[in-house]
Amino acid sequence: MISDRFEALSQAFRVFTEQLMRFRALFLVDTPEAVGNLDHAVDGILNAFHGLYDAVNAEAKGAFDFYAHPITGLVLWIRNARHHNSANRVRSIYRCARKEENETNYILVDFAAGEAEEGGTFAEYYVSWADILMVFEAQKRKYAESVERYRAALNADEIEGWCREHEYSERQIFVNLLPIVSAAGSACTGAIAQYITPESVEAETFLDHFQTVQPADFSKPDYTELTSRLFWPS
């Protein structure tokens, strides 16, 4: 079961990569379709990761505690918010930009590649920081300690402090989700690799990737200012 769910996660990453490669050309011709395709592909990754979590709990309980690790736990919280239509489904930057009545400036927060991955970059899918804060707020009553650990893992205080210093509100902040979900894959794969027998090139690739490529360095956020208009041209 774990092997099958890892296969599904690997294929979900492949589908996302394919949609991202097609995105720019389609975005200029049919923006709603391009955005919908990308959103659906990200949902596929998040749901496949949740499926892997379920499989580990069923087949190898104790091999890895997903909620004890702040990055894997955060990914599951984000998945659940999107799945259950809470916290605005943790909207992509495209969804938020479409709702803007006037052009405004956004701050895009990305993260440096691991120290051993000099020159490395991540695919991009930015989500609303304000929506992530809503996820934290919803969990705070029961899981206050986890909220603080998850915030610390993302270096949230530094991100918010930088934005306040430069006079940006929380709703103007968007964080790249791909370094986060990639780091989640890296965090759990080593502990469950013994249960995984790859059946496809994709599964072999991601099994190797998650075990050998350093995850993002969340202590080094990178900030880029862009206008909201760029994310919804039609």
Can you list the positions of beta strands (E) in the chain?
Answer: 105-112, 126-128, 173-176, 217-227
**For strand 105-112 and strand 173-176, is the pairing parallel, antiparallel, or unpaired?**
parallel
Q: How far apart are CA 199 and CA 220, in angstroms?
A: 36
Mean pLDDT (whole number) for 39-67 = 97
Mean pLDDT (whole number) for 214-224 = 93
Looking at residue 116, what is its pLDDT? Answer: 61
Domain boundaries, the chain: 2-231
Looking at residue 113, what is its pLDDT? Answer: 84
Task: Output the average pLDDT for the chain.
Answer: 94
Answer positive or negative: Cα dihedral of 56, 58, 63, 65. Answer: positive
Looking at residue 233, what is its pLDDT? Answer: 66
Q: What six digits make up the tokens of 99?
A: 């709702």
Residue 125 contacts by C-beta under 8 Å, 6 or more apart in sequence? 16, 20, 38, 42, 92, 176, 177, 178
Position 117 pLDDT exceeds 80: no
DSSP assignment letter at 92: B
Looking at residue 119, what is its pLDDT? Answer: 64
Contact (Cβ atoms closer than 8 angstroms) between residue 188 and residue 67: no
Mean pLDDT (whole number) for 179-190 = 96
**For strand 126-128 and strand 217-227, is the pairing parallel, antiparallel, or unpaired?**
unpaired
Mean pLDDT (whole number) for 176-195 = 97
CA–CA distances in Å: residue 51 to residues 44, 94, 125 = 10, 27, 21
Looking at residue 121, what is its pLDDT? Answer: 79
Q: What six digits make up the tokens of 108?
A: 């895009």
Mean pLDDT (whole number) for 38-54 = 98
Position 118 pLDDT exceeds 80: no
> Residue 155 — left, alpha, or beta (φ > 0 → left; ψ -120 to 50 → alpha)?
left
| Apex 90 CA angle, 86 and 96, nearest 5 | 120
Residue with tokens 């599951």: 76
Q: Which of 55-59, 116-120, 194-198 is the least confident region?
A: 116-120
Mean pLDDT (whole number) for 166-190 = 97
In tens, the pLDDT along 133-161 reads 999 999 999 999 999 999 999 999 999 99
Question: Model-level pTM?
Answer: 0.95
Contact (Cβ atoms closer than 8 angstroms) between residue 183 and residue 71: yes
Answer positive or negative: Cα dihedral of 17, 21, 24, 27. Answer: negative
In tens, the pLDDT along 91-106 reads 999 999 988 989 999 9
Task: Band the pLDDT of 83: cuts 50, 70, 90.
Answer: very high
Mean pLDDT (whole number) for 182-192 = 96
Q: How far apart are CA 143 and CA 218, in angstroms?
A: 22
